[in-house]
């Protein structure tokens, strides 16, 4: 049997953020190549980014996708559509602010951040990038912010509390469910 060249089919979708022409000066002149920046994700909260260089664009893309799949992170989403809380991130001169948004808002973000949110599966978010517009730094700042996002379940586990105690504070405005229940009993007597 002859060897079969099998392409590994990935369950992740990818989006190209930028492709730059780069050059290397050598003894005989310049050698040109391409550098690609790609974001991959499963549209269910997992996302990653990667870079790849090659003389041809398809090869650079393949390298970037392989690198991105190796650096995937999982971000907890509220209701599968937005972040749990507002968060800031930075990398180099790039600074980003990511804010939760009500249903129907859509993705309000520019360039590289939009690609990250689309591949992650976020439907509603408002984001602002300040400082640099370099796509590499903006994406790294966005990932820095996304790593800081935590769900109520994760926070409850750290504090050794029940999720209901934390969520009740968000909804009830300053007390646990037990405290609200005792207030209700006191007013009925």
Token pair listed for 106: 């859509």
Q: Give pLDDT tens digits for 16-37.
A: 999 999 999 999 999 999 999 9
pLDDT of residue 163: 82
Number of H helices, E strands in the chain: 6, 8
100 pLDDT band (50/70/90 cuts)?
A: very high
pLDDT at 55 > cutoff 90 = yes
Mean per-residue pLDDT for 50-79?
A: 92
168 pLDDT band (50/70/90 cuts)?
A: low
Mean per-residue pLDDT for 2-19?
A: 69
Q: Give pLDDT tens digits for 147-159.
A: 998 888 888 888 8
SS3 track for 13-29: EEEEEEEEEEEEEECCE
- pTM for the structure as a whole: 0.79
> Taking the CB of residue 56, how many other CB atoms lie within 10 A of it?
10
The answer to whether 72 and 14 have CB atoms below 8 angstroms apart is no
pLDDT of residue 117: 93
Q: Give pLDDT tens digits for 127-154.
A: 999 999 999 999 999 999 999 988 888 8
Token pair listed for 89: 């991130």
Q: What is the mean pLDDT of the chain?
A: 84
Query: DSSP per residue over 107-133, as a string?
Result: EE--HHHHHHHHHHT--SEEEEEEE--
- Alpha-carbon gap, residue 115 to 24, rounded angstroms: 29
Q: What percent of the chain has pLDDT over 90?
A: 57
pLDDT of residue 158: 87
pLDDT of residue 80: 84
DSSP 84: S
> Taking the CB of residue 189, how many other CB atoms lie within 10 A of it?
4
């Amino acid at each position: 049997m002859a060897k079969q060249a099998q392409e590994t089919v990935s369950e992740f979708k990818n989006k190209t953020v930028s492709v730059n022409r780069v050059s290397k000066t050598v003894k005989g002149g310049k050698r040109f190549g391409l550098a690609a920046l790609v974001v991959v994700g499963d549209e269910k909260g997992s996302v990653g980014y990667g870079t790849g260089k090659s003389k041809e664009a398809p090869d650079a893309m393949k390298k970037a996708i392989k690198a991105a799949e190796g650096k995937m992170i999982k971000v907890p989403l509220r209701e599968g559509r937005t972040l749990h809380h507002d968060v800031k991130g930075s990398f180099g001169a790039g600074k980003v602010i990511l804010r939760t948004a009500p249903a129907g808002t859509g993705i309000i973000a520019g360039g590289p951040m939009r690609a990250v949110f689309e591949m992650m599966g976020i439907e509603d978010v408002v984001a602002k990038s300040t400082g640099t517009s370099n796509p590499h730094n903006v994406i790294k700042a966005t990932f820095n912010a996304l790593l800081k996002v935590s769900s109520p379940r994760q926070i409850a586990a750290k504090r050794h509390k029940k999720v209901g105690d934390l969520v009740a504070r968000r909804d009830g405005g300053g007390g646990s469910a037990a405290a609200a229940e005792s207030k209700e009993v006191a007013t009925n007597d």
